[in-house]
């Protein structure tokens, strides 16, 4: 029994079909845990129909809180704060929760110890049963930060569950962008699938994501979604992939079927032939890669 394999699906830009590919792959892999790490806007649960939901509150960073009865309004904290998080409202010094970064500088500096750090509840992570297996996802409270932290938490939980139940694959629907949540979703992963589309922005985002996976030295493959919308750009992506020694795993055509199926909350690869074939291709290529790795 080898180590549990972690596959992360990324896109750079949102809306390229990341969740569609993730859900379709999830349907193909038998022995797996599905993780929705797109904690800012988790969507996969809409297709998964989770049951037996167990929610756990998630505490994020601590932020400063000023006790106004002790505060002498000396203004030192406000002067020092680099995040402009301290405001004076009706003569009282208050911390603006959204801006506070939790650095504790104000707490250290306060001459009368009027500042304490208070842990924030920023969201919750959820473990549930689905007809596709264990499903772990998280929801961040709107406007809350620290999604990188929550991603790490969700990943840790999925690893624990995988070890406990001896599950071989963790499939992670990663966050969009290239920021902290994405970095958190990458750490410790074994394979990254980047879903892109043949638009200029798709290509420029793809390049940025590849820079990141290269930095972490994680094996990466590309999926071109809606490749037939701009064949010329698709060729550019293929050329770029070749130059950078990254494999194009599959190309998925534009399809109304996929949109219709998602609107019905179905996993689209079940009824859309044009999606099923490329998804099987992706699955086989990744399986081959892991088998070759094991043999080494």
Partner 1 sequence: MKAFIAVENNAGIDSRLDNRFARAGYFMVYDMESDKILSIEENRFKNGAHGVGIETGNYLIKSGCKLAIGANPGPKAESILRAGNIEFYIAENCTAKEAIERYRAKA
Partner 2 sequence: MFIAVASGKGGTGKTIVSTSLALVAKNSTYIDLDVEEPNGYILLKPEIEKEIPFNLKIPKIDEHVCTFCGKCADACVYNAISIIPNLKKTLFYPDLCHSCGHCTYVCPVNGAIKEVDREIGKIRMGKSKELKFIEGRIDVGVISGVPIISWIVNNYIDFNEINIVDSSPGTSCPVVESVKKSDYIILVTEPTPFGLSDLKLAVEIAKNMGKKAGIIVNKDTGIKNIDVYAKEVNIPILLKIPYSIEVQKSYSKGIPLVEAIPEMKGKFVELIDKIICENGKN
Q: How far is the CB of 101 from partner 1 (least distance, A)?
A: 12
Interaction mask 2-31, partner 2, x per CB under 8 A: ---------xxxxxx--x------------
Separation of alpha carbons 35 and 185, rounded Å: 10
- Answer yes or no whether residue 37 interacts with partner 1 by CB under 8 A: no
Question: Considering only residues 63, 95, 140, 237, which one is a binding residue for partner 2 as defined by CB under 8 A?
Answer: 140
End-to-end Cα distance, the chain: 15
Interaction mask 78-97, partner 2, x per CB under 8 A: --x-xxx-------------
**What does 185 bind: partner 2, partner 1, none (CB cut-off 5 to 8 Å by kind)?**
none
Question: Considering only residues 179, 239, 270, 294, which one is a binding residue for partner 2 as defined by CB under 8 A?
Answer: 179
Stretch that binds partner 1, among 38-46, 93-101, 145-153, 206-214 (CB under 8 A): 145-153
Q: Any long-range contacts for 96-102 (C-beta under 8 Å, 24+ apart)?
A: 97/63, 98/143, 98/145, 100/63, 100/64, 101/61, 102/61, 102/62, 102/63, 102/64
Shorter beta-carbon distance to partner 1: residue 61 or 124:
61
Question: In whole angstroms, what separates CA 118 from the centre of its chain?
Answer: 26
- Answer yes or no whether residue 263 interacts with partner 2 by CB under 8 A: yes
- Answer yes or no whether residue 187 interacts with partner 2 by CB under 8 A: no
Separation of alpha carbons 147 and 59, rounded Å: 11
Q: How far is the CB of 240 from partner 1 (least distance, A)?
A: 28
Question: Considering only residues 20, 24, 146, 189, which one is a binding residue for partner 1 as defined by CB under 8 A?
Answer: 146
Task: Point out which residues bind partner 2 (CB under 8 A).
Answer: 11-16, 19, 40-41, 43, 46, 80, 82-84, 98, 101-105, 108-109, 140, 142-145, 147-148, 176-180, 183, 197-202, 204-205, 208, 211-212, 215, 226, 229-230, 233, 254, 259, 262-263, 265
Task: Point out which residues bind partner 1 (CB under 8 A).
Answer: 60-61, 146, 148-149, 152-153, 156
């Amino acid at each position: 029994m080898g180590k549990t394999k972690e596959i992360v699906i990324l896109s750079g830009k949102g809306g390229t079909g990341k969740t569609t590919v993730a859900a379709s792959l999830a349907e193909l892999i038998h022995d797996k845990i599905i993780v929705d790490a797109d904690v800012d806007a988790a969507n996969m649960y809409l297709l998964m129909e989770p049951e037996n939901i167990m929610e756990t509150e998630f505490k994020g960073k601590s932020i400063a809180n000023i006790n106004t009865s002790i505060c002498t309004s000396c203004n030192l904290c406000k002067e020092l704060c680099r995040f402009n998080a301290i405001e004076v409202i009706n003569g009282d010094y208050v911390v603006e929760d959204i801006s506070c970064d939790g650095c504790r500088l104000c707490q250290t500096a306060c001459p009368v110890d009027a500042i304490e750090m208070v842990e924030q509840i920023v969201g919750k992570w959820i473990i549930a049963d689905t007809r596709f297996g264990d499903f772990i996802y998280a929801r961040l409270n709107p406007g809350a930060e620290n999604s990188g932290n929550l991603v790490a938490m969700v990943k840790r939980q999925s690893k624990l569950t995988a070890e406990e139940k001896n599950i071989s694959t963790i499939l992670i629907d990663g966050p969009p962008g290239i920021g902290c949540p994405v970095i958190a979703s990458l750490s410790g992963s074994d394979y990254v699938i980047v879903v892109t589309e043949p638009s200029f922005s798709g290509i420029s985002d793809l390049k940025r994501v590849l820079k990141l996976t290269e930095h972490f030295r994680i094996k990466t493959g590309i999926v071109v979604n809606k490749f037939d919308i701009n064949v010329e750009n698709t060729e550019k992506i293929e050329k770029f992939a070749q130059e950078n020694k990254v494999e194009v795993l599959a190309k998925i055509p534009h399809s109304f079927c996929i949109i219709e199926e998602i609107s019905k909350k179905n996993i689209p690869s079940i009824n859309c032939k044009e999606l099923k074939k490329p998804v099987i291709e992706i699955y086989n290529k990744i399986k081959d890669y892991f088998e070759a790795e094991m043999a080494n």
